[in-house]
């Protein structure tokens, strides 16, 4: 970690799923964590899973610039700095809708959350990390297997996750002079509320509906923690963590 007692993390989408698992993993490892999400009761539920940890819940819609500014202001006011941003908040958007029928409002909601929200949080983290003493920090963006290959009828989600890869690369390059390390974790079929349908049946590229294997979300959380706890001189630029037998590599 560092000479200080703990490092400070901001985790978005911390009220459930991958964000909750990562936040709890960090809290149990001695990090102080600002929990960001749209539902206060879910953030409280995350904090309750690691009652020994030092957490701060901040109700945040990452698509709103004022909310993001408030999140980082509250974090710095409470903890004094930011060492890590896990840029995790995201949404699949409506599923099962052909491209030609997807409402623009649905497209815009996914873009605002997955891409614009990630940018706003990264921008706020940059501003803090460049000016703090000691300078620097780490940003880990939650990509997806969809950053590599789409599922059927997932145009908005897939487009934003491909864009997130470009955001990661650009942020990583621009962060070099300031000791800001930026990487991305691409996750496939972690068992969460958002992926429960995978086990009962998911639409495949050939039009069939078939169940898919999933993996324990705790394995994702441990991977994020490993990335986070590297010294800033080292960086995992891209990591892919997926259920071993999911249809991704090869022909399905």
Q: Which domains does the chain have, with CATH numbers?
A: 8-242 (3.40.50.720)
pLDDT computed for residue 1 by the predictor: 40
Range in 119-123, 203-207, 237-241 the model is least confident about: 203-207
The arithmetic mean of pLDDT across residues 103-128, rounded, is 97
Span 20-41, pLDDT tens digits: 999 999 999 999 999 999 999 9
pTM: 0.92
What does each C-alpha distance from 78 to 8, 135, 138 come to in angstroms? 10, 18, 19
The secondary element (H helix, E strand) that includes residue 241 is strand 238-242
Cα dihedral sign, 69-186-158-245: negative
Active site residues per annotation: 157
Instruction: Decide if 19 contacts 217 (C-beta within 8 A).
Output: no
Instruction: Give Cβ neighbours of residue 177 (< 8 Å, ≥ 6 apart).
Output: none
The secondary element (H helix, E strand) that includes residue 138 is strand 137-142
Span 181-208, pLDDT tens digits: 999 999 988 888 766 677 677 777 777 8
* 13 SS3 class: coil
Q: Of the candidates 151, 159, 158, which has an alpha carbon nearest to the alpha carbon of residue 208?
A: 151
Tokens (6 digits) for 182: 């930026």
Instruction: Give Cβ neighbours of residue 65 (< 8 Å, ≥ 6 apart).
Output: 120
CB atoms within 10 A of CB 204: 14
pLDDT computed for residue 89 by the predictor: 96
């Amino acid at each position: 970690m560092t000479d200080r007692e703990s490092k400070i993390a901001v985790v978005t989408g911390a009220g459930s799923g991958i964000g909750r698992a990562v936040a709890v993993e960090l809290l149990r490892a001695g990090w102080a964590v600002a929990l960001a999400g749209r539902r206060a009761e879910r953030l409280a539920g995350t904090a309750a899973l690691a009652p020994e940890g030092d957490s701060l819940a901040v109700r945040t819609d990452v698509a709103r610039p004022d909310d993001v500014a408030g999140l980082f202001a509250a974090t710095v006011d409470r903890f004094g700095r930011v060492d890590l941003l896990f840029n995790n908040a995201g949404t699949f958007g409506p599923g099962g809708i052909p491209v030609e029928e997807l409402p623009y409002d649905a497209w815009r909601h996914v873009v605002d959350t997955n891409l614009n929200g990630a940018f706003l949080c990264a921008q706020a983290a940059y501003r803090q990390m460049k000016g703090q003493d000691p300078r620097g920090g780490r940003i880990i963006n939650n990509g997806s297997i969809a950053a590599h290959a789409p599922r059927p009828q997932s145009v908005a989600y897939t487009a934003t996750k491909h864009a997130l890869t470009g955001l990661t690369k650009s942020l990583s390059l621009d962060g070099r002079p300031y000791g800001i390390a930026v990487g991305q974790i691409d996750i496939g079929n972690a068992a969460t509320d958002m992926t429960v349908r995978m086990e009962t049946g998911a639409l495949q590229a050939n039009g069939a509906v078939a169940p898919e294997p999933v993996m324990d979300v705790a394995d994702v959380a441990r991977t994020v923690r490993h990335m986070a706890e590297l010294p800033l001189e080292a960086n995992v630029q891209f990591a892919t963590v997926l259920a071993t037998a999911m249809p991704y590599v090869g022909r399905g």
